[in-house]
Structure 1
Amino acid sequence: MLYAANIHARDVADEWAIRAENWLAELEELQKPRRLRERNSNSLILAGHGNSLRVEKGALIIKHGFTHYPQKQECRRYFKGDLELPRIIVLLDGSGSLSFDVLDWLAEQSIALARIKASGDVAIVASGDGFAADQTKIDWQRETLACPKRRMAFVQDLIAGKLRNSIATLSGHLPQTVDTDAAIARAERGIAELGRPLDDLQQVRAIEGECASLYFRAWRHLRPQWKISKRYPVPDSWLTYRGRSSVHECKPENRRATDPINAMLNYGYAVIHSKLQVIAIADGYSPLLGIMHRQKRTSVSYILDMLEPERPRVDAAILDFVQSRTFTGADFILRKDGACRLSPQLARVVAQLV
């Protein structure tokens, strides 16, 4: 019995390793080639356990974490001013270490560092450009927030942009069905409604909410392709897309994804959130002065504003990815609380997509 159990455990580990290597190969294909004299535009995505960043003889040494066995640890060496330097380094969950020297080195080379939790939440973003506050832009944020008319105009334009991008995603990245047509029609009406004067923010939220409901209803026809395995069984709830909200939340929220598609969306949104925060800070805006979103004082509310029209673009990338791949249970981790998490190498691929 013990021998049989060992054989089964080895087979399971082998399948995990094969899937990890497959995603690693795909990650390489997603890398955009760098043109001569052009700075590398790809993000560096780190995952797994044992990530290490240190400065040695003036160079940055990065060792990737381990995600499966057997695996040869990948090591990169970057010199100052190297055109191969990434503009942002994203740490996806996992574990590891870095030193104060590394933070100084990254700041000197204008490289941002972002840490994203396994849940898809952004833990921290450290911009290599620092906070280059532009008083004119911060005054614009404050004045727009303080003036109800200007605030409404900003919010209406923001959500109208989101709806326009939603139409592009619905028409170009989903099968055309009755639900898709209904979602597009409602989004078009929503854009027209947002083009007229409205009294308060709740009206905008109501229009956005109705459009979002029909938008994700059109996703119900998604049927991800699965390679069914006894070693890695797949829950029935993963075979179709049931909606954006988590089935384990009392409120219609999606912070704790319970299916693969929502887990991928959370990661995608988190990566874009990190990049937008880096850009906003570098451009001189305050990430705390949100205009549509007004949450806790410590919340980067302005980044949530900027994220709204970008969400449908992330959706489009995830939709194309889901509909062109065959997954296995080894690509995901089902936690004891029912939450779904991506395997480390799949998470790297999803992060690179956006």
Structure 2
Amino acid sequence: MLLETQFEQSEMADEWAIRSDNWIAELGKLQKPRRLRERNPNALILTGHGNSLRVENGSLIIKQGFTHYPQKQECHRLLKGDLDLPRIIMLLDGSGSLSFDVLDWLSEQSIALARIKGSGDVAIVASGNGFASDQSKIDWQRETLACPVRRMAFVQELIQSKLTNSLETLSGHLPRHADTDAAIAGAKRGITALDRPLHDMQQVRAIEGECASLYFRAWRNLRPQWKISKRYPVPESWLTYRGRSSVHECKPENRRATDPINAMLNYGYAVMHSKLQIKAVADGYSPLLGIMHRQKRSSASYILDMLEPERPRVDAAILDFVQSRTFSGADFILRKDGACRLSPQLARVVAALII
């Protein structure tokens, strides 16, 4: 009995390792080509346990964390001024260490640093260029927020852009059926409704909410392909997409995803959030001065504003990915509270799709 249990555990470990190696190989295929004398456009994405960043003899030594066994550790030596330097280093969950010297080195080389939790929440974003505020842009944010008419115009234009982008996602990245047609018609109605002057933010939210309901209803025919495995069984609820809300929450933002597609969406939105925050800071805007979103003082509310029209583009990337891959139960982690998390190497691939 003991030998049988050990054999089963070994098989489970082997499948985890095989799937991890599969996603590592796929990550290499997602690298963007670089033109002559162009700086590296790809992000350096780290995950696993035991990540290490340190400065040695003026160069940055990076050691990738471990996610499975056996695994050869990835190591990188970054030299100052080299065109191979990434524009962003992204730390996905996991563990490890870095020093103050590393932060100084990254700042000198204009490399941003972002950390995303396993839940898909943004932990911290540090722009490689620091925060060189542009007073005219910050004044614009404050004045737009303070003026009800300008604020409404900004919000209506923002949601119109979101609905316009959602039309492209619905028509180009989902199978055509009655729910898709209804969502397309709903988005067009929403765009038209937002063309006229509105005076109440709740009107905009009602239009957006109705369109979002139809939009994600069009996803309900999604059926990811699964590799059958006795060692990593797939819950029944994962076989078909049921909607954006978690089975434990009725909120549409689904902070605690309980299925793979929503878990990937959360990760994708977090990566896009980090990307937009780095750009906003570099352009001189204040991440805290949201216009549509007005949350607590420490929240990057303006980035949430900028994220709205980008969500359908993240959705499109995830939809294409889900519909073109075969997954295994070993690609996901089901926590004791029912939350679904991506395996570390799959998380790296999802991040690379968006960044």
TM-score, scaled to structure 1: 0.99
Specify the alignment match of 2:215 in structure 1.
Answer: 215
For residues 279-304 of structure 1, the C-alpha deviation after alignment (integer angstroms, 9 at most, x for no partner) is: 00010000000000000011100000
Cα distance in 1 for partners of 2:199, 2:249 equals 32
Please tell me the residue identity of whatever aligns with 1:82. D
Cα distance in 2 for partners of 1:178, 1:60 equals 54
For residues 51-88 of structure 1, the C-alpha deviation after alignment (integer angstroms, 9 at most, x for no partner) is: 00000000011000000000010000010011111111
Please tell me the residue identity of whatever aligns with 2:189. R
For residues 166-223 of structure 1, the C-alpha deviation after alignment (integer angstroms, 9 at most, x for no partner) is: 0000000000000000000010010011011011111000000000000000000101
Cα distance in 1 for partners of 2:148, 2:9 equals 62
Specify the alignment match of 2:309 in structure 1.
Answer: 309
Unpaired runs of 5+ residues, structure 2, are: none
Specify the alignment match of 1:67 in structure 2.
Answer: 67
Cα distance in 2 for partners of 1:251, 1:128 equals 34
Please tell me the residue identity of whatever aligns with 2:301. S
Please tell me the residue identity of whatever aligns with 2:259. D
Cα distance in 2 for partners of 1:53, 1:152 equals 45
Specify the alignment match of 1:241 in structure 2.
Answer: 241
What is the correspondence of 1:177-188 to structure 2 with a 5 Å cutoff? 177-188=177-188
Residue 288 (1) aligns with residue 288 (2): yes
Cα distance in 1 for partners of 2:207, 2:90 equals 35
Specify the alignment match of 1:89 in structure 2.
Answer: 89
Please tell me the residue identity of whatever aligns with 1:62. I
What is the correspondence of 1:189-228 to structure 2 with a 5 Å cutoff? 189-228=189-228
Give the RMSD, CA atoms, in angstroms: 0.7
Residue 133 (1) aligns with residue 129 (2): no
Cα distance in 1 for partners of 2:79, 2:340 equals 38
For residues 141-169 of structure 1, the C-alpha deviation after alignment (integer angstroms, 9 at most, x for no partner) is: 00000000000000000000000000000
SS of match in other structure, 1:221? coil
Cα distance in 1 for partners of 2:250, 2:151 equals 31
Please tell me the residue identity of whatever aligns with 2:153. A
Cα distance in 2 for partners of 1:251, 1:214 equals 15
Give the deviation of 1:250 after TM superposition: 5.2
Cα distance in 2 for partners of 1:83, 1:269 equals 28
Give the deviation of 1:36 after TM superposition: 1.0
Specify the alignment match of 1:53 in structure 2.
Answer: 53
Please tell me the residue identity of whatever aligns with 1:11. E
Residue 15 (1) aligns with residue 34 (2): no
Residue 39 (1) aligns with residue 39 (2): yes
Specify the alignment match of 1:229 in structure 2.
Answer: 229
Cα distance in 1 for partners of 2:37, 2:196 equals 48
Residue 117 (1) aligns with residue 117 (2): yes
TM-score, scaled to structure 2: 0.99
Cα distance in 1 for partners of 2:255, 2:236 equals 21
For residues 221-265 of structure 1, the C-alpha deviation after alignment (integer angstroms, 9 at most, x for no partner) is: 101000110000000000000000111125444000000000000
Cα distance in 1 for partners of 2:133, 2:145 equals 18
Cα distance in 2 for partners of 1:275, 1:211 equals 26
SS of match in other structure, 1:158? helix
SS of match in other structure, 2:193? helix
Please tell me the residue identity of whatever aligns with 1:221. N
Specify the alignment match of 1:80 in structure 2.
Answer: 80
Relative distance call for 1:271 and 1:252 in structure 2 (3 A) is: closer
SS of match in other structure, 1:89? strand
Question: In percent, how many aligned pairs have the same letter?
Answer: 83
Specify the alignment match of 2:345 in structure 1.
Answer: 345
Cα distance in 1 for partners of 2:252, 2:146 equals 30
Cα distance in 2 for partners of 1:338, 1:42 equals 34
Unpaired runs of 5+ residues, structure 1, are: none
Give the deviation of 1:5 after TM superposition: 1.1
Specify the alignment match of 1:267 in structure 2.
Answer: 267
What is the correspondence of 1:93-172 to structure 2 with a 5 Å cutoff? 93-172=93-172
